[in-house]
């Protein structure tokens, strides 16, 4: 959300007037994972926004994005315990509106999902060593360059791992060096 809004507020502000989410369906009927995705993503983004508000650039055009923003004198009762007290009004994003147009679709019906499938497969194969560098070295040019001090690809481990370099560190360094700047 943050990277996309920074990008489009500078380059194509009108794009921020609508969000369309298409997720690759894994079966004809919704899987348990897809049901969980639908139930968890909105609350997760809302909770994350409390500790890490969406970064916005002064002077960029967020006028089309404003339809997803709100303000009240104080936070709702269920959030008061999570918020620092402040004399400032409570500003928020309507995550339900941002995520309202989401569907699970078969990738063979949507070219965009097919492209994302191919990119994800290329990234996976680059990291597990089954794709030669000629197949992955330029993928970084498609990735937004992260904030200073962060990686272009954020790694997530669901277990404690020893603090050692990952075998695909060269791949990640190459992509980071080639990533596109978000801020003009």
pLDDT tens-digit series, residues 124-148 = 999 999 999 999 999 999 888 767 7
Measured torsion, CA atoms of residues 16, 18, 19, 22, in degrees rounded to the nearest 10: -130
183 occurs within a structural domain: no
**Residues 7 and 98 grouped into a single domain:** yes
- According to the model, what pLDDT value does residue 93 have? 84
- According to the model, what pLDDT value does residue 46 have? 82
**Residues 51 and 71 grouped into a single domain:** yes
173 occurs within a structural domain: yes
Three-class DSSP category at 125:
helix
Q: Which domain holds residue 156?
A: 107-178
* Residue 172 exposure: Cα atoms within 13 Å on the Cβ side: 14
Among 57, 86, 104, where does a domain finish?
104
80 occurs within a structural domain: yes
**Residues 59 and 128 grouped into a single domain:** no
**Residues 148 and 113 grouped into a single domain:** yes
Strand bridging mode 90-93 / 102-105: unpaired
What's the sign of the alpha-carbon dihedral 68, 69, 75, 79?
A: positive
Q: What is the total count of domains within the chain? A: 2
Q: How confident is the model at residue 10 (pLDDT cuts 50, 70, 90)?
A: very high
What are 19-62's pLDDT values in tens digits? 999 999 999 999 999 999 889 988 888 888 877 888 889 999 99
**Residues 142 and 83 grouped into a single domain:** no
184 occurs within a structural domain: no
- According to the model, what pLDDT value does residue 184 have? 54
**Residues 99 and 154 grouped into a single domain:** no
């Amino acid at each position: 959300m943050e990277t996309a809004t920074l990008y489009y507020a500078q380059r194509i502000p009108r794009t921020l007037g609508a969000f369309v989410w298409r997720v690759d369906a894994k079966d004809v009927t919704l899987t348990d994972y897809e049901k969980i995705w639908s139930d968890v993503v909105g609350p997760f983004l809302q909770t994350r926004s409390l500790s890490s508000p969406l970064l916005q650039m002064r002077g960029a055009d967020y006028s089309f994005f404003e339809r997803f923003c709100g303000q009240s004198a104080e936070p709702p009762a269920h959030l008061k315990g999570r918020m620092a007290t402040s004399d400032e009004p409570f500003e928020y994003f309507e995550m339900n509106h941002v995520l309202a147009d989401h569907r699970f679709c078969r990738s063979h019906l949507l070219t965009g999902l097919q492209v994302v499938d191919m990119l994800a497969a290329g990234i996976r194969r680059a990291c597990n060593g089954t794709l030669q560098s000629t197949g992955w070295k330029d993928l970084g040019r498609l990735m937004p360059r992260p904030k200073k001090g962060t990686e272009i690809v954020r790694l997530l481990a669901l277990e404690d791992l020893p603090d050692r370099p990952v075998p695909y560190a060269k791949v990640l360094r190459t992509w980071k060096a080639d990533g596109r700047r978000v801020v003009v």
